[in-house]
Structure 1
Amino acid sequence: MARTLQPTPLAFKVRRSEPELVAPIKPTPRGYKSLSDIDDRYGHRFLHPIILLYPYSPSMEGKDPAKVIRDAIVKTLVFYYPFAGRLKEGPNGKLSVDCTGEGVLFIEGDVDVTLQQFGDSPLPPFPCMDELLFDVKGYGGILNCPLFLIQVTRLKCGGFIFTICHNRTMGNATGLLQFMKVVGEMARGALSPTISPVWERHLLNARTPPRVTYAHLEFDQEFMDMNDDDITQPNNMVNLSFFFGSNEISTLRKLIPLHYQCTTHIILTACLWRCHTKALQPDPDQHIRRICIVNTRYKFNPPLPLGYYGNSIAYPTTVTTTDKLCRSPLEYAIELVKLTKGKATEEYMKSKADFLVTNGRLGLPLNRWSFLLSNLT
Structure 2
Amino acid sequence: MDFIVRRTSHGLVPPSEPTPSDVLELSIIDRQPALRCIARTLHVFRHATAHATPAGRVIREALGKALVPYYPLAGRLKFDSAANFPRLQIECCGAGIWFVEANVDCSLQEVDYFENATSIPYETLEHLLPPPPPHGLDPLVLIQITQFKCNGFVMGLMFSHAICDGVGAAQFMKAVGEMARGAERPSITPSWSRELIQSPSLEAYLKSFPTTLLSSPQPPIPPYKLEHANIDISSDDINSLKQNFLRQTGGQRCSTFDIVAASLWRHRTRAISDTLKENEELILLFFANCRKQLSQLLPEGFYGNCFFPIIITATCEMLKRASLVDVVKMIQEAKANLTIEFGKWIDCGVVDVDPFFPPMLYTTLFISEWGRLGFNEVDYGWGPPVHFTPIQDTSIMPVGIVGCQPSPRSGIRLMTWCVEKAHLQSLANWPTGLEDDVQ
The answer to whether TM tops 0.5 is: yes
SS in 2 for 1:52: strand
2:62 to 72, 92, 95: 72
Counterparts of 1:12-161 in structure 2, within 5 Å, are 12-60=3-51, 62-90=52-80, 91-119=84-112, 122-125=115-118, 127=120, 128-138=124-134, 145-161=138-154
Percent identity over the alignment is 29
For residues 250-300 of structure 1, give each alpha carbon's deviation from its aligned partner in whole angstroms, at most 9, with x where no partner exists: 675697683434333212211211122233322122122221321121334
Write the distance in 2 (CA, Å) between the matches of 1:48 and 1:338. 28
Instruction: Count matched residues.
Output: 346
TM-score, length of structure 1 as denominator length: 0.83
Determine whether 1:192 maps to 2:188. Answer: no
Task: Give the aligned partner of residue 237 of structure 1.
Answer: 226
1:275 to 267, 271, 279: 267
- Whether the 8 Å contact between 2:288 and 2:308 is mirrored in structure 1 is yes
Write the distance in 2 (CA, Å) between the matches of 1:184 and 1:35. 26
Counterparts of 1:347-362 in structure 2, within 5 Å, are 348-353=341-346, 355=349
For residues 148-190 of structure 1, give each alpha carbon's deviation from its aligned partner in whole angstroms, at most 9, with x where no partner exists: 1111111111111122101011111100011011101111222
- Whether the 8 Å contact between 1:38 and 1:204 is mirrored in structure 2 is yes
CA positional deviation for 1:21 = 1.1
CA positional deviation for 1:246 = 3.7
- Whether the 8 Å contact between 1:153 and 1:160 is mirrored in structure 2 is yes
Write the distance in 1 (CA, Å) between the matches of 2:129 and 2:112. 20
Write the distance in 2 (CA, Å) between the matches of 1:331 and 1:17. 54
1:329 to 323, 334, 339: 323
TM-score, length of structure 2 as denominator length: 0.72
Structure 1, 97-106 or 273-282: larger mean CA deviation: 273-282
Write the distance in 2 (CA, Å) between the matches of 1:209 and 1:289. 25
SS in 2 for 1:340: helix
Structure 2 unmatched ranges of 5 or more: 206-218, 372-439
Task: Give the aligned partner of residue 180 of structure 1.
Answer: 173
Structure 1, 185-194 or 84-93: larger mean CA deviation: 84-93
**Counterpart residue type for residue 237 of structure 1:** L
CA positional deviation for 1:356 = 7.5
1:165 to 150, 158, 162: 158
- Whether the 8 Å contact between 2:12 and 2:99 is mirrored in structure 1 is yes
- Whether the 8 Å contact between 1:53 and 1:161 is mirrored in structure 2 is yes
**Counterpart residue type for residue 151 of structure 2:** G
Structure 1 unmatched ranges of 5 or more: 1-9, 213-225
- Whether the 8 Å contact between 1:24 and 1:81 is mirrored in structure 2 is yes
- Whether the 8 Å contact between 2:44 and 2:113 is mirrored in structure 1 is no
Write the distance in 2 (CA, Å) between the matches of 1:270 and 1:306. 31
For residues 51-84 of structure 1, give each alpha carbon's deviation from its aligned partner in whole angstroms, at most 9, with x where no partner exists: 1111124422x11111110001111111111111
CA distance 1:66–1:255, shift in 2 (3 Å): same
CA positional deviation for 1:32 = 1.0
Write the distance in 2 (CA, Å) between the matches of 1:285 and 1:206. 37
Write the distance in 2 (CA, Å) between the matches of 1:15 and 1:356. 50
**Counterpart residue type for residue 43 of structure 1:** A
Alpha-carbon RMSD across the aligned residues, in angstroms, is 2.9
Write the distance in 2 (CA, Å) between the matches of 1:358 and 1:274. 28
SS in 2 for 1:97: strand
1:265 to 252, 257, 272: 257
CA positional deviation for 1:207 = 4.3
Write the distance in 2 (CA, Å) between the matches of 1:119 and 1:171. 31
